[in-house]
């Protein structure tokens, strides 16, 4: 009995150790190989010789532009839908259940399929071509289900007491939403937003046939622009001798994503504290 | 009374004495054959009674017998509860509140509600009072100021918070929060206050303060209070209604003036309940 | 009451309608996606021509042979393999955090898992390509293979399983722990016999979520799997999965070839819809009898 218990403990520790080991290997590899490349120059220079040398400045700019385009679309659509789901719909209605199923499916659609759709719809049907605009719109589609889900969860976690209080005072849902519910849920909503930005920053497959490959500085959002993740893919798969630069870019990308995700988790933690202090 | 109560609704009619009717009984709510069900399951049926203007009516009865359900029907908060259905008539100030022509939001400004758990908004004390006012169209700065002053005065909170109106309402103690919620309801100049166990989440001292305040508000407001504290009901109410569950459906067993109901109940169930033998 | 100017009563209604229209747009997106995939794939799926995806013996676009089966098997092999490996590791690490780790280790360990969840898939691919592939090449060339893909994907979906399992475990009612402690169960039997079964619904949900991620992963698998179109017969075989195939050939495909790629996108959608449907059945309590 004690024997079994002990070996189970050991197995659990070994599994945790394995996870840690794999993570350590991955991260140390990226840091060790990427760090020598990392410098102010690298961030601020144009890439040369297909990216083997030079920097990644236009690529960072394109990445940010793509993200910004996506945000402009995803914010009103995502927040609006989430608010409708959380505050304006009756939870048990058939319509809401169908909508939820649709959102679950959307959340599971492979990013390459979003890429195909963006290629056919934005680049082709709407005639936007390979452009930052097409890429941003495709990313927006991908981010929507994540943002809706986290925003809705944030609103659902707001105590019901205040909705009752507002209704008993004859206040409109709209006022209550603006003045009480949204401000209270804002850290959770922001955390969700950051999380979806993190996902979008890391995205490759949805962008290869939508925002294009060109590593020049984009002149407008109608220009093609290469995202950082696409750059890493291209350097490691298509450019012989691009490994070093690829690792440098990977380090930059990881740092970006880590910063975004850390701010998200700090915010959620802050929010949790706020909730707990209310309970006291 | 010397405190700064809102003037508009003063219909104090004579002195308030325990057990006596506080006034010539003028019906404020006439409830006829009210029934409440959730998801087609009846939880309260066949309730008919009159709630008299300016008086305190206490609702007593065991847990689950439908007191809260009754209360939420009176300001149609039941509209918000998924699956809830109310039938019967409630005539309030001459109109049936279930009529299609009724403006529910206006009804709710006239019939304020206080909940068991104090629920001030997570905003400053001032904002908590300002928000409902602005929502109902009061924009004038000085009018808002004076209404805030009046409301806080009448719940006895002014002196305690006048220096920190900007701080969060959640930083107040439980009792203060509950009084703030009452002030927030009063600021809309209602004529009725519905209170669902307003003292049960508070410590004995705060509970005493709130109770005292409720007594001071009687006369100016019609108050309907749910309480599990029979001694409290006896101390403050003019009328009492006793609910009981038979076959999982709540019924009104007895209704009448408070003292007689406690001292010489007509119904054996009431007698047993108020003497603490059951419930 | 006349001094209260009632604000526009309809504002709630209008806002509700406006917001529901936004929601409608989002829902429309799914229909749009399916519609566009289908219309682009139309030339090769109309009538009964879709049958050739499943009975022709290989993927030779130049000869108009579009057999998807080898890549479908590869997709399933990679995904299922990764889930099989990631499940014990993910659940184990969740159990570790919840019940075994001392506080000083538990907190940083769970941050590690969260960070791992955020690592971009190209970075996993890059690491797999430059570290794992050479390593496996030493054992059995060429290195880029089903096994490599499974290993990289395992690491990628492990955080999903770990995070969802952990949240399922940590939301178990406290009395369960006390009850089983009162029965003097050993820690292991408490976890294996009581806690994990009770949380099984949430854990299985997490596994299905991970499966969806695995089926849809493109870049990481593309970079390490070797991309030879063949039905996998061994762990060291290079394989090509459906997603990678789209990424590799879309850039130059035309005509029927292009339509076939869109059709394989549709096939992926069908796979995902199946798993999501299973998940939703699970969460509405029609499958797993527990609870
Ligand atoms: N939202 C709801 N949905 C379904 N059933 C409900 C709902 N609210 C109350 N009920 C049921 O209606 C019955 C009456 O509940 P109600 O809250 O009115 O009782 P109560 O007398 O206020 O009890 P307590 O003294 O515990 O507050 C109970 O059986 C309760 O389970
Ligand atoms: Mg109640």
Q: What is the pLDDT of residue A117?
A: 96
User: Measuring from atom 25 of ligand 1, which residue has the nearest CA?
Assistant: B63
Specify the pLDDT at position C124. Answer: 95
- Beta-sheet pairing, B239-246 with B27-38: unpaired
Check pLDDT > 90 for residue B101: no
* CATH class belonging to A38-279: mainly alpha
Query: How many percent of chain A have pLDDT more than 90?
Result: 60
Residue written as tokens 């979906």?
Answer: C157
Question: What mean pLDDT is predicted for residues B146-159?
Answer: 92
Closest-CA residue to C72 (of C59, C87, C85, C86) = C59
Which chains neighbour B (Cβ–Cβ under 8 Å, 3 or more pairs)?
A: A, C
Please choose, from the candidates B108, B189, C10, the residue with its C-alpha nearest in 3D space to the C-alpha of residue A171: B108
Share of chain A above pLDDT 70, in %: 98
pLDDT of residue A216: 87
Condensed to tens digits (0 to 9), the pLDDT of residues B126-150 reads 999 999 999 888 889 999 999 999 9
Read off φ and ψ for residue B211, nearest 5 degrees.
-60, -45
Res B15 pLDDT > 70 = no
d(CA B106, CA B205): 35
Nearest CB to C1: which of B110, B135, B138?
A: B110
pLDDT at position B8 is 31
DSSP C282: H
For residue B32, the model assigns a pLDDT of: 94
| Local confidence band at C4 (pLDDT 50, 70, 90 cut-offs) | very low
- What is residue B279's predicted lDDT score, i.e. its pLDDT? 55
Any ligand 1 atom below 6 A from CB of B66: yes
Confidence of residue B24 (pLDDT cuts 50, 70, 90): low
Q: Return the residue of C nearest to A130 by Cα.
A: C251
pLDDT in tens, C231-286: 888 899 999 999 999 999 988 888 889 999 999 999 999 999 999 888 888 876 54
Interface of C with B in 5-44 (CB under 8 A): 5-7, 9
* Tokens representing residue A6 in the block: 């002990």
pLDDT of residue B33: 94
For residues A197, A201, A207, A208, the Cα torsion angle rounded to the nearest 10 degrees is: -170
Q: Is A171 an interface residue toward B (CB < 8 Å)?
A: yes
Contact B135 C7 (CB under 8 A): yes
Ligand 1 contact via B68 beta carbon (within 6 Å): yes
pLDDT tens digits, C183-219: 777 888 888 888 899 999 889 999 999 999 999 999 9
Q: Does domain B3-120+190-274 have CATH number 3.40.50.720?
A: no
Per-residue confidence (pLDDT) for residue C9, from 0 to 100: 59
Give A179 to chain B, closest Cα distance, Å. 8
Residue labelled with tokens 């519609």? C35
Q: Whole-angstrom Cα distance, residue A91 to residue A55?
A: 51
Contacts of C3 in chain B (CB under 8 A): 137-138
Distance, CA of A61 to CA of A42 (rounded, Å): 13
Q: Give the integer Cα–Cα distance in Å for A116 and A130.
A: 12
Say which residue, C5 or B111, is predicted with more confidence: B111
Q: Do B137 and C9 touch (CB under 8 A)?
A: no
How large a percentage of chain C has pLDDT more than 70? 94
Confidence of residue B23 (pLDDT cuts 50, 70, 90): low
- CB contact at 8 A, A47 and A217: no
Tell whether the model's pLDDT for residue C140 goes beyond 80. yes
Q: How far apart (Å, rounded) are the C-alpha atoms in residues A185 and A199?
A: 21
| pLDDT confidence bin for B197, thresholds 50/70/90 | very high
Instruction: Answer yes or no: is pLDDT of B274 > 50.
Output: yes
> pLDDT: is A51 or B157 the higher one?
B157
A229 pLDDT exceeds 50? Answer: yes
pLDDT of residue A212: 85
What's residue A279's pLDDT? 52
Confidence of residue A92 (pLDDT cuts 50, 70, 90): confident
Q: How far C32 CA lies from chain A's nearest CA (Å)?
A: 9
Superfamily name and number for C52-282: MetI-like (1.10.3720.10)
Which chains sit next to A, with 3 or more Cβ pairs under 8 A? B, C
Element (H, E) at C2: none
Q: How far is the CA of B64 from the centre of ligand 1 (A)?
A: 5
Least confident of A1-5, A82-86, B102-106: A1-5
Contact B135/A172, CB-based, under 8 Å? Answer: yes
Backbone angles phi, psi at B203, to 5 degrees: -75, 165
A47 pLDDT higher than 70: yes
Confidence band, pLDDT 50/70/90 cuts, at residue B29: very high
* pLDDT computed for residue C289 by the predictor: 32
Confidence of residue A275 (pLDDT cuts 50, 70, 90): low
Alpha-carbon distances, residue C56 vs A39, C63, C74, C227 (angstroms): 53, 11, 16, 19
CB C142: neighbour CB atoms within 10 A? 14
pTM: 0.87
Indicate whether C32 pLDDT > 80. yes
Start-to-end Cα distance in chain B:
38
Residue A118 has pLDDT above 90, yes or no: yes
With 80 as the cut, is the pLDDT of residue B38 above it? Answer: yes
B188: helix, strand or coil: coil
Confidence of residue A91 (pLDDT cuts 50, 70, 90): confident
Residue C291 has pLDDT above 70, yes or no: no
pLDDT band at B1 (very low <50, low <70, confident <90, very high): very low
Rounding to the nearest 10 degrees, give the CA dihedral for residues A193, A199, A205, A209.
30
Which ligand 1 atom sits closest to the C-alpha of B228?
A: 25
ipTM: 0.90
Give residue C143's pLDDT: 86
Domain segments of chain B as ranges: 3-120+190-274
When mean pLDDT is compared across B56-60, B114-118, B225-229, C13-17, the lowest value belongs to C13-17
**pLDDT for residue B20 is more than 80:** no
CB pairs under 8 A between B and C: 24
A276: pLDDT strictly greater than 70: no
Paired strand residues for B255: B241
**SS3 of chain A: helix, strand, coil, percent, to 5:** 80, 0, 20
- B13 pLDDT band, cuts 50/70/90, is very low
Please name the residues in contact with B10: beta carbons below 8 A apart, sequence gap of 6 or more.
B219, B220
Compute the distance between CA of residue A200 and CA of residue A70 in angstroms, rounded to an integer: 9
SS (H, E, C) C12-33: HHHHHHHHHHHHHHHHHHHHHH
């Amino acid at each position: 009995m004690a024997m079994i218990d002990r070996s189970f403990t050991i197995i659990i520790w070994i599994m945790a150790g394995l996870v840690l080991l794999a993570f350590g290997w991955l991260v140390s590899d990226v840091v060790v190989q990427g760090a020598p490349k990392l410098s102010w120059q690298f961030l601020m220079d144009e890439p040369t010789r297909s990216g083997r040398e030079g920097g990644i400045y236009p690529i960072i700019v394109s990445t940010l532009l793509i993200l910004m385009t996506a945000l402009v679309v995803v914010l009103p659509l995502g927040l609006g839908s989430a608010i409708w789901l959380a505050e304006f719909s009756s939870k048990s209605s058939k319509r809401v259940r169908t909508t939820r199923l649709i959102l679950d499916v959307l959340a599971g659609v492979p990013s390459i399929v979003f890429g195909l759709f963006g290629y056919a719809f934005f680049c082709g049907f709407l005639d936007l071509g390979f452009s930052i605009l097409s890429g941003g719109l495709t990313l927006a589609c991908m981010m929507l289900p994540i943002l809706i889900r986290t925003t809705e969860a944030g609103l659902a976690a707001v105590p019901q007491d205040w909705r009752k209080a507002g209704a008993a005072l004859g206040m409109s849902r709209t006022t209550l939403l603006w003045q009480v519910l949204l401000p209270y849920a804002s850290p959770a909503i922001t955390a969700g937003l950051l999380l979806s930005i993190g996902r979008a920053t890391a995205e490759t497959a949805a962008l290869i046939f939508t925002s294009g490959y060109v590593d020049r500085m984009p002149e407008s959002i109608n220009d093609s622009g290469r995202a950082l993740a696409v750059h890493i893919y291209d350097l490691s798969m298509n450019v012989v001798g691009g490994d070093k630069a690829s690792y440098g870019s990977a380090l930059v990308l990881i740092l970006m994503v880590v910063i975004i995700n850390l701010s998200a988790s700090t915010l959620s933690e802050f929010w949790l504290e706020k909730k707990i202090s209310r309970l006291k | 009374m010397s405190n700064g109560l809102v003037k508009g609704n003063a219909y104090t009619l004579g002195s308030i004495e325990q057990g006596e009717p506080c006034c010539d009984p003028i019906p404020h709510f006439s409830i006829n054959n009210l029934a409440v069900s959730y998801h087609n399951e009846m939880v309260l049926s066949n309730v008919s009674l009159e709630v008299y203007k300016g008086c305190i009516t206490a609702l007593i009865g065991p847990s689950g017998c439908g007191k809260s359900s009754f209360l939420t029907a009176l300001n149609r908060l039941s509209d918000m509860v998924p699956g809830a259905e109310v039938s019967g008539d409630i005539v309030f100030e001459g109109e049936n509140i279930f009529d299609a022509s009724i403006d529910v939001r206006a009804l709710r400004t006239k019939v304020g509600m206080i909940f068991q758990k104090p629920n001030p908004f997570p905003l400053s004390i001032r904002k908590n009072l300002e928000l409902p006012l602005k929502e109902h169209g009061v924009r004038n700065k000085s009018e808002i100021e004076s209404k805030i002053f009046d409301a806080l005065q009448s719940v006895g909170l002014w002196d305690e918070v006048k220096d920190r109106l900007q701080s969060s309402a959640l930083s107040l103690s439980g009792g203060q929060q509950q009084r703030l919620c009452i002030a927030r309801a009063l600021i809309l100049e209602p004529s009725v206050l519905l209170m669902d166990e307003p003292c049960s989440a508070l410590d004995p001292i705060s509970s005493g303060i709130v109770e005292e305040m409720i007594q001071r508000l009687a006369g100016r407001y019609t108050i309907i209070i749910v309480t599990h504290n029979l001694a409290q009901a006896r101390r403050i109410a003019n009328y009492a209604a006793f609910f009981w569950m038979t076959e999982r459906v709540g019924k009104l067993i007895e209704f009448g003036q408070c003292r007689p109901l406690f001292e010489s109940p007509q119904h054996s169930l009431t007698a047993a309940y108020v003497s603490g033998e059951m419930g | 009451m006349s001094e209260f100017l009632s604000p526009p009563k309809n504002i709630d209604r209008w806002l509700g309608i406006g917001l529901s229209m936004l929601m409608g747009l989002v829902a429309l997106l799914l229909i749009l996606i399916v519609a566009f995939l289908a219309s682009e794939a139309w030339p090769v799926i109309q009538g009964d021509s879709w049958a050739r995806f499943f009975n022709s013996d290989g993927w030779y676009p130049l000869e108009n042979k579009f057999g998807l089966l080898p890549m479908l098997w590869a997709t399933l092999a990679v995904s299922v393999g990764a889930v099989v490996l990631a499940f014990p590791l993910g659940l184990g690490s969740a159990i570790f955090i919840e019940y075994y780790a001392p506080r000083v280790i538990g907190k940083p360990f769970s941050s590690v898992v969260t960070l791992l969840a955020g690592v971009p898939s190209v970075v996993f691919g890059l690491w797999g390509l430059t570290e794992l592939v050479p390593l496996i090449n030493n054992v059995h060339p060429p290195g880029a293979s089903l096994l490599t893909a499974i290993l990289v994907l395992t690491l990628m979906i492990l955080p999903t399983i770990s995070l969802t399992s952990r949240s399922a475990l940590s939301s178990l009612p406290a009395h369960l722990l006390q009850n089983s402690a009162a029965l003097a169960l050993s820690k292991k039997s408490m976890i294996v016999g009581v806690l994990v079964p009770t949380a099984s619904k949430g854990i299985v949900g997490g596994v299905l979520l991970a499966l969806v991620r695995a089926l849809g992963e493109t870049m990481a698998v593309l970079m390490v799997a070797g991309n030879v179109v063949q039905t996998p017969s061994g762990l060291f075989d290079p394989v090509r999965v459906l997603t990678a195939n789209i990424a590799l050939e879309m850039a130059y495909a035309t005509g029927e070839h292009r339509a076939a790629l869109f059709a394989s996108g549709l096939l992926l959608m069908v796979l995902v819809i199946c798993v999501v449907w299973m998940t939703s059945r699970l969460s509405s309590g029609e499958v797993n009898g527990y609870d």
